[in-house]
């Protein structure tokens, strides 16, 4: 059984003027760009199976999802990148789903 992390919401705090310029969407739903989190359960955009660890074959733990940032820094049509880890083998994998 994969280890489950407690959920943390993550917020972006742009550090530079360049970062402030690329933050936000003109036409996307207001939640797009604010779906970053660590732990909890993934908010998959499409039906997906949890990846298996390439070393031990066990179910990997959901670690984080990172959202698209803005109109000029977007993942696959307002998508997210999902990160999974195996705490035993120190393996990780990530994939993108479009929104």
39, 63 contact by CB (below 8 A) = yes
Rounded distance between C-alpha atoms, residue 98 and residue 74, angstroms: 10
CB of 93 to Zn ion, least distance (A): 11
86, 93 contact by CB (below 8 A) = no
Query: Does residue 64 interact with Zn ion by CB under 5 A?
Result: no
Among 22, 50, 56, 73, binds Zn ion (CB under 5 A): 56
CB of 30 to Zn ion, least distance (A): 38
24, 64 contact by CB (below 8 A) = no
Query: Does residue 55 interact with Zn ion by CB under 5 A?
Result: yes
Rounded distance between C-alpha atoms, residue 5 and residue 65, angstroms: 13
Handedness of CA 35, 41, 44, 50 (dihedral sign): positive
Instruction: State which residue, 3 or 36, has the beta carbon closest to Zn ion.
Output: 3
Piece of the chain touching Zn ion by CB under 5 A; list 9-17, 19-27, 47-55, 69-77: 47-55
Query: Does residue 32 interact with Zn ion by CB under 5 A?
Result: no
Among 53, 64, 69, 85, binds Zn ion (CB under 5 A): 53
């Amino acid at each position: 059984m994969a280890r489950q992390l407690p959920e943390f919401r993550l917020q972006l705090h742009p550090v530079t003027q360049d970062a402030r310029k690329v933050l936000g969407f003109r036409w996307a739903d207001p939640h797009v760009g604010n779906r970053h989190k660590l732990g909890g359960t993934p908010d998959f955009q499409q039906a997906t199976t949890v990846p298996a660890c390439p070393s031990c074959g066990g179910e990997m733990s959901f670690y984080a999802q990172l959202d698209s940032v803005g109109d000029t820094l977007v993942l696959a049509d307002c998508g997210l990148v999902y990160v999974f880890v195996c705490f035993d083998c120190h393996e990780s994998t990530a994939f993108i789903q479009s929104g």
